[in-house]
Amino acid sequence: RSARSGPEALGFGGEERAREERPEQAVRASERLTGTDQELELHFIGELELGLRFPSIAFNEGLFVEYEVRAGSEWLPIARKEGYVGQTQTAYADPEGSHVFNHPLDFHFISASLEGWPRLHVQVFKLDWAGCVEVISYGTLSLPTLPGHSELTCRTWMPQGGSVLGDQGWSLASRAEVLDGWRPEERAQMLTKGSGILSVHLDTIMRNGEAHGILPQ
């Protein structure tokens, strides 16, 4: 796709930071988990299915989604060094107005603690007829806490003009963290408006849930 304009500054500015932080995080977590068979193991498999009801999208404009899964320092992702970061293909609306992605998702974690449960963070981008890319909404979603099949709805949103982000001297990294839902205390001060929704289907496989009080003994 073409180079992003101004909105790219609101993108996953944490990707480079994640590449630097996660190796150390993985080492700490793996050291704590060594020699025990009681660690919690979670495997999420499914799809980012489709997007619905995004406003002001013309028939010749496409949507794509960038996503990242983040978890607490006790969680060890069984993934590449950069963690679980990805992007869907660009989808165009069908006759019902749905943007079908059917993008596969596969997240695998081991943890010694329930603190910092994994969350999916998303940004929705619009690709217009001229090839320009613009971010149109943000969203965040907690991954399932029980095994089995889950059909999840991620409701996305956009900041409105005059919100707290426009009134303070935020760095680009801090701004991205607030918009992506990583700093909910700052986001709570923002003026926002709802946007479209994303449908996510996941099957969750869990090991040692009983030992951590998630499942009955």
Residue 58 banded pLDDT, cuts 50, 70, 90: very high
Residue 22 has pLDDT above 50, yes or no: no
**Residue 48: per-residue pLDDT:** 98
Residue 156 has pLDDT above 70, yes or no: yes
Residue 163 banded pLDDT, cuts 50, 70, 90: low
| Distance separating alpha carbons of residues 87 and 135, to the nearest angstrom | 13
Residue 15 has pLDDT above 50, yes or no: no
Residue 215 banded pLDDT, cuts 50, 70, 90: confident
pLDDT (mean) for 71-95: 89
Segment among 2-16, 20-34, 50-64, 199-213 with least mean pLDDT: 2-16
- What is the average pLDDT score of the chain? 79
**What are the residues whose beta carbons fall under 8 Å from the beta carbon of 16, sequence distance 6 or more?**
none
The CA-atom distances, in angstroms, between 164 and each of 140, 145, 160, 185 are 19, 33, 10, 12
**Residue 35: per-residue pLDDT:** 45
Instruction: Decide: 88 and 48 in contact? Cβ < 8 Å.
Output: yes
pLDDT (mean) for 128-136: 93
| Distance separating alpha carbons of residues 196 and 56, to the nearest angstrom | 10
Could you tell me which residue, 174 or 177, shows the higher pLDDT? 177
| Distance separating alpha carbons of residues 69 and 63, to the nearest angstrom | 20
pLDDT (mean) for 77-104: 90
Identify the three-state secondary structure at position 35: coil
pLDDT (mean) for 139-159: 93
pLDDT (mean) for 95-104: 95
The percent of residues in the chain predicted with pLDDT above 70, rounded, is: 69
Instruction: Decide: 65 and 50 in contact? Cβ < 8 Å.
Output: no
Identify the three-state secondary structure at position 100: strand
**Residue 201: per-residue pLDDT:** 98
Whether the pTM exceeds 0.85: the reply is no
Instruction: Decide: 90 and 1 in contact? Cβ < 8 Å.
Output: yes
**Residue 192: per-residue pLDDT:** 80
